[in-house]
């Protein structure tokens, strides 16, 4: 009996160790894969910068580019990138207004097993395609020497805060809808509830990436369109699409701020109601004693 109990304890310790390693790996993998969306916005800003430099004859696209640089300037890859980022951003905007899109898709009561499998396979395909496009495109931009950090609006801190909140909300939506189902299904065989550790790691990783690179380059999506308009240079469809994505992220950030203010106002109002109830009950008690 003692040997059996010792074996059970050892087995339980092994399972706990394995589960702890899997949970730690889950947090790291979800944080890294969720950063694909902010990196995609960085890549779109560099694509817009490259198109602007080509249009004003500052930068020339030569034929002896490497495969990575050719992939960066490829119109097919660029439009596929716009499409994937646009789908996620539009769905995040709908979710911030409605608030039930994530719960509807993650609900196990309303989704059959076959439909759930199709959804997981779709997430796998989406995530793999997104990762290939972002990684090869970013490497191509690095090889080409394209940098969009010189086109930011440093004095417009309010818009930067709103864009930061909007991108963070969009990244969280992408993490819940695409990244987390894939990672959880791979590691545990089913989707787990989101923990505060995952939220903290996601916020920390995005904050570091924003401070390190994204805050200085993402504004090229909107600044260069204005520069092209002033210089009377032709504005392409890609420029307009990047400009639209930027202001859609701004709208998501404004909606996030508005919902937060409404929540704070509701909490303050509820506290005021509770205080009034306590004061009224205290006055009634005094009247009864008198």
The domain segmentation of the chain, as residue ranges, is 2-289
Digit-coded pLDDT (tens) for 121-143: 888 899 998 988 888 888 887 87
59 against 83, higher pLDDT: 83
| Residue 43, both tokens | 């890549």
Q: How many CA atoms does the CB half-sphere of 254 hold within 13 Å? A: 7
169, 96 in Cβ contact below 8 A?
Answer: yes
- Quote the crossing angle between the two packed helices 220-230 and 36-55, to the nearest 10°: 20
163 against 233, higher pLDDT: 163
What integer pLDDT is reported at residue 290 of this predicted model? 53
What integer pLDDT is reported at residue 77 of this predicted model? 77
C-alpha–C-alpha distance, residues 182 and 175, integer Å: 10
C-alpha–C-alpha distance, residues 154 and 230, integer Å: 20
C-alpha–C-alpha distance, residues 137 and 45, integer Å: 12
Going by C-alpha positions, the residue among 81, 73, 74, 69 that lies closest to residue 39 is 81
188 against 70, higher pLDDT: 188
256, 96 in Cβ contact below 8 A?
Answer: yes
C-alpha–C-alpha distance, residues 45 and 242, integer Å: 8
C-alpha–C-alpha distance, residues 36 and 13, integer Å: 35
C-alpha–C-alpha distance, residues 252 and 258, integer Å: 10
pLDDT above 70 (res 265): yes
State the pTM of this model. Answer: 0.84
224, 48 in Cβ contact below 8 A?
Answer: yes
SS3 assignment, position 232: coil
Helices (H), ranges, 107-236: 113-144, 157-174, 180-187, 196-209, 215-217, 220-230
Band of the pLDDT at 209, cuts 50, 70, 90?
very high
């Amino acid at each position: 009996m003692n040997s059996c109990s010792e074996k059970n304890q050892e087995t339980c310790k092994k399972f706990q160790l394995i589960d702890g390693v899997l949970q730690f790996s889950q947090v790291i993998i979800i944080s890294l894969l969720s950063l694909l969306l902010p990196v995609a916005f960085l890549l779109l800003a560099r694509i817009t910068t490259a198109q602007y430099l080509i249009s004003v004859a500052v930068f020339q696209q030569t034929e002896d580019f490497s495969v990575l640089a050719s992939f960066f300037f490829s119109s097919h890859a660029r439009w596929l990138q716009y499409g994937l980022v646009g789908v996620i951003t539009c769905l995040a905007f709908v979710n911030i207004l409605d608030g039930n899109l994530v719960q509807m898709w993650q609900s196990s009561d309303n989704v059959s097993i076959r439909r759930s499998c199709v959804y997981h396979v779709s997430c796998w395909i989406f995530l793999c395609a997104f990762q290939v496009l972002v990684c090869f495109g970013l490497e191509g931009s690095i090889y080409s020497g394209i940098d969009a950090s010189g086109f930011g609006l440093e004095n417009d801190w309010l818009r930067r805060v709103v864009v930061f909140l909007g991108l963070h909300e969009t990244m969280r939506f992408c993490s819940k809808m695409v990244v987390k189902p894939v990672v959880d299904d791979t590691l545990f065989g089913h989707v787990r509830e989101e923990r505060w550790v995952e939220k903290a790691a996601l916020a920390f990783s995005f904050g570091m990436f924003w401070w390190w690179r994204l805050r200085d380059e993402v504004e090229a999506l909107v600044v260069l369109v204005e520069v092209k308009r002033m210089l009377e240079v032709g504005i392409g469809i890609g420029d307009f699409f990047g400009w639209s994505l930027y202001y859609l992220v701004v709208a998501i950030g404004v909606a996030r701020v508005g919902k937060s203010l409404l929540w704070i106002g509701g909490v303050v109002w509820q506290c005021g109601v509770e205080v009034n109830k306590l004061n009224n009950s205290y006055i009634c008690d005094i009247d009864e004693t008198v």
